[in-house]
Structure 1
Amino acid sequence: MAAAGDDAVIGSTPLPLAFARHLARDRRRSAHTVRAYGATAERLTAFLARHWGGAVDARALAAITTADVRAYLAARRGEGLANASTARELSAVRAFLAFAGVEAPRLKGPRVGKGVPRPIAPDEAVALAEEVDEDAAEPWIGLRDFAVLLLLYGAGLRIGEALALTGASLPLGETLAVTGKRGKTRIVPLLPQVRVAIEHYVAECPWPMARDLPLFRGAKGGALSPGVVRVSVRKARARLGLGERTTPHALRHSFATHLLGRGADLRSLQELLGHASLGSTQIYTAVDAAHLLDVYRNAHPRA
């Protein structure tokens, strides 16, 4: 996009703001993608201004090197960024540099080593949802997939339960009625962030939201297939360096493990997950213990 990299075309508009406007107007990306990528552009230019000791415009960006990008990512990692979020940050950096007409330095994103499967961290769950959104063919499809994945992680739904929701769930409130296995209905809390994500999708969806029609629609208006979501997640996790066990269902496991780690009792967790027996819920005690053991081994000086 050479024209975007021309200072005369950018004019007096700061480059990160011009980039954000380009994403919103020309690429028609979702609001949260515009916000996240725009914030990365602002952080990068501010870092380079300090790093280089001078103003950063499109012409200055042409001199960026792999070492500069590595230094920026190292600074972000020092702020506590996890692997998936770092990979997401690198993706945003590449998009920003391409907008500025600069060839991004060749740099591989961080990889997650193989080993015992673990629940993904909260920021990794969000990064996964954002990456799926960014790669969508249409903005409304990105909003749909983002909402579905946040629903799996934020409310602990099975993918089949999420895709079985209909327009009867609208308008959304603080809780959501979910029909699980054997037709059993349960009530789950709906986090504000999840509710907003679903509402954004509904506002942009080109298909009608009748009470008896699916809430989450496929590209041609029918019910969204679980396979479509799984394929999108598989592509996104590869780009973010997440392990192959990072599936839509893993978001439900992460929901359960994180709640247990924050003090939720097994009976409450059983109700939230819709398990018929407490034994099904007790597997999360072992998962949480394994996670705590990892923390202990990494943090204790004598471990």
Structure 2
Amino acid sequence: MIAPAARDALQNWLATQKALQGVSDHTISAYSGDLTEFLTFMTEHKGQSLGLAPLLRITVQDMRGWMAFMRGQDIGSRSLARKLSAVKGFYRYLAEKEGCDPTAVLSARSPKFQRKLPRPLAPDAAQDLIDTIDLQSQTPWVSARDQAVVTLLYGCGLRISEALGLCGRDIPIGPTLRIIGKGRKERVVPVIAPAREAVKKYLELCPYRVEPETPIFRGVRGGALNPRAIQRVVAAVRMQLGLPATATPHAMRHSFATHLLNAGGDLRAIQELLGHASLSTTQAYTAVDTARLMEVYNRAHPKA
């Protein structure tokens, strides 16, 4: 059993991540699961209830034991890297609060893995998906709502949480939108005319009053729209159009970035539009473009 002091330290760290770093509820839940799993292993590994004192004395051998155990549970490299990142973040917090030396934890090497490249849609497929979403509901305002959300994802490169986080104070939507993204990072994104028109059409049909502090996009009962509703309607359209399983709401954001890059967009500018903290994240789209060029080369070159 995890000692109360260790559990309290974990809860305090999670609260700090949410309040100061703007970490999403989904990520907080993942961190909580990863750290609870880690602390449970260390408790059993050490053969004692792991209070703060022994928690701060974890060795390199202890970390190797945990990582070997994870591997034995068929945890893949990507998942293990995520878990290790959470553990390191927690120990940085403990080092700051308790004055301990986190070297044994921070020196643990993250397993190498090949990053998955974004899977964008072709421009015509992205447009077909947006057009077909309008036909999915017999309730006009729901159809307009779903189409407006997906148009924002593709037209502005928004995350679904960012689109659904728009409130009455953001309307009427003009040529730009001020978005608060991951880590409470603020950015300004241009809004193309089709996206503005889609939102305007939805608001004209929406039966619910939109106040400055209430969400623009509503569920059928009037509450905030759940992302699952958009995921379901995109899945239905994907099957109708014969698109791959990678055609998800988030793929519309990938498509936005890739299509801009293909049209000659500047990588730094795209980084700002997407709200990426690191340019290396945005550079994944150059790999997509290179992969596409190599595919064309290998298919078309007479000597290939």
Range class of TM-score, shorter chain: 0.5 to 0.7
Matches within 5 A, 1:84-233: 118-233=119-234
Local SS of the residue matching 1:245? coil
Asked whether the equivalents of residues 163 and 216 of structure 1 are also in contact (C-alpha less than 8 Å), the reply is yes
Deviations 1:149-176, CA, capped at 9 Å, x for gaps = 1110111000001000001111111101
Is the 2:118–2:288 Cα contact (8 Å) retained in structure 1? no
Does the C-alpha gap of structure 1 residues 128 and 186 become closer, same or farther in structure 2, counting only changes over 3 Å?
Answer: same
Shift of 1:299: 4.3
Contact 2:148-2:198 at 8 Å conserved across structures:
yes
Determine helix, strand or coil for the equivalent of 1:178.
strand
Are 2:262 and 1:261 equivalent residues in the alignment?
Answer: yes
Change (3 A) 1:162 1:117: closer
Provide, for residues 190-227 of structure 1, a one-character-per-residue CA deviation record: whole Å limited to 9, x for no partner.
00111111111111111112111101111111111101
Equivalent pair of 2:167/2:216 in contact (CA under 8 Å)? yes
* AA at the equivalent of 1:176: L
CA RMSD across the alignment:
1.5
Aligned length: 188
Distance 2:300 2:190 in 1: 34
Q: 1:130 Cα shift? A: 2.1
5+ residue gaps in structure 1? Answer: 1-115
Contact 1:118 1:291 in 2 (8 A): no
What TM-score, normalized by structure 1, do the two folds share? 0.59
- 2:134 match: secondary structure: helix
Conservation of the 8 A alpha-carbon contact between 2:118 and 2:284: no
Larger radius of gyration: 2
**2:83 paired residue number:** none
Q: What is the CA–CA distance in structure 2 between the aligned matches of 1:268 and 1:296, rounded to whole Å?
A: 28
User: Alpha-carbon deviation of 1:294?
Assistant: 2.6
Cross-structure match for 2:75: none
**What is the CA-CA distance between 1:297 and the residue it aligns to?**
3.6
Tell me, in whole angstroms, the C-alpha distance in 2 between the residues paired with 1:137 and 1:299. 45
Q: Distance in 2 between matches of 1:223 and 1:272?
A: 25
Pairwise CA distance, 1:266: 1.6
TM-superposed deviation, 1:122? 1.7
Partner of 2:5: none
Structure 2 stretches lacking a partner, 5+ long: 1-116
Q: Secondary structure at the match of 1:213?
A: coil
- Match for residue 276 of structure 2? 275
Hey, what does 1:286 align to over in structure 2?
287
Q: Which amino acid aligns with 2:232?
A: V
Structure-2 separation of matches of 1:191 and 1:134? 22
